[in-house]
Amino acid sequence: MNTAAERNDQAAMTGNGAPVVRARGLRKAYKNKLALDGTTFDIPSGRIVGLIGPNGAGKTTALKAILGLIPFEGELSVLGRDPRTERDALMNDVCFIADVAVLPRWMRVREAIEFVAGVHPRFDRARCKRFLAGTQLKPQMRVRELSKGMIVQLHLALVMAIDAKLLVLDEPTLGLDILYRKQFYQRLLEDYFDEQKTIVITTHQVEEVEHILTDVMFIRDGKIVLDSPMEDVGHRYVEVMVNADRVDSARALKPVDERALPFGKTVMLFDGVPLPQLQGLGETRTPGLADLFVATMKGTYA
């Protein structure tokens, strides 16, 4: 199966449009550790892409490279620009939300709105206020009075009021309760995303973003180890609860992972094996993204 990078190279050659992000051979080292190790990927336009990996895998480093925040080796184009040399122009079309609050604690909500309106030419003040109308945030409130969930709501309102082509979210709901997390992603879908915008999300809460992603990339040790549209993942991977008398036959088909269950059951994960070959081995199902992630990353925490 072609990678997304290969698919987009083919698309570019046939005139079907360039990807929003095009990375080739990215390399970034911190002391003796490679955070990015020849990392290559494409992010097409109008997609919601999950960049998922364990701690230290290179997720945040990749995002910082895309945002022009760090030096690196390799080729990187974001919206047709090199973030190392054209960052100021690029930031007119890119927005970013991190897991760390960046608003001064003394600032009031209305002052945050005025600040962004003054520095970003594509900020829509009325749109921001419409987003905030559905929250408990009031114009006179100071950031230091807000819960983490309310601060994220404020960040989201400020960012969604900017007509940006690329939205980058680095663990945007880290530390929030489940209600705030669900509200965050629901508003992102309903009030922000359209076919003209692209969203890149890194998160540890795989199950919560699985239903909104159009594409997924797994990153491990600075390398992309899975790069696929979500619809292809469902066709490519099959999980089988193998009957005890068929274990040897199943192993002959070379599963990419297996785990033991009580009562002699074994669950095996297959990549690219036709479904008819697997159905006689036991009960089959499409694995969830979290199951696929755990299987792919086994040994990472050893």
What structural domains does the chain harbor?
4-8+17-230 (3.40.50.300), 233-296 (3.30.70)
Residue 237 has pLDDT above 60, yes or no: yes
pLDDT band at 176 (very low <50, low <70, confident <90, very high): confident
What pLDDT, on a 0 to 100 scale, did the predictor assign at position 25? 96
- How far apart (Å, rounded) are the C-alpha atoms in residues 117 and 37? 39
Of 2-11, 62-71, 185-194, the poorest mean pLDDT is in: 2-11
Give the strand order in the sheet containing 282-285.
Answer: 257-260, 266-271, 237-242, 282-285
Q: Mean pLDDT, the chain, as a whole number?
A: 87
Going by DSSP bridges, is the β-strand pair 215-220/48-52 parallel, antiparallel, or unpaired?
A: parallel
Of 62-66, 201-205, 230-234, 296-300, the poorest mean pLDDT is in: 296-300
DSSP letter string over 231-281? HHHHHHEEEEEE-GGGHHHHHTT--SEEEE-GGG-EEEEEES--HHHHHTT
What pLDDT, on a 0 to 100 scale, did the predictor assign at position 2? 47
What pLDDT, on a 0 to 100 scale, did the predictor assign at position 149? 82
- 3 state DSSP class of 47: coil
Residue 47 has pLDDT above 60, yes or no: yes
What pLDDT, on a 0 to 100 scale, did the predictor assign at position 12? 39
What pLDDT, on a 0 to 100 scale, did the predictor assign at position 153? 85
pLDDT band at 299 (very low <50, low <70, confident <90, very high): low
What pLDDT, on a 0 to 100 scale, did the predictor assign at position 298? 76
pTM as predicted = 0.84
What pLDDT, on a 0 to 100 scale, did the predictor assign at position 14? 30
Higher pLDDT, 100 or 223: 223
pLDDT band at 17 (very low <50, low <70, confident <90, very high): low
Identify which of 50, 48, 36, 4 has the alpha carbon closest to the alpha carbon of residue 217. Answer: 50
| Helical packing angle, 178-187 and 148-160, nearest 10° | 0
Q: What is the mean pLDDT of residues 207-215?
A: 90
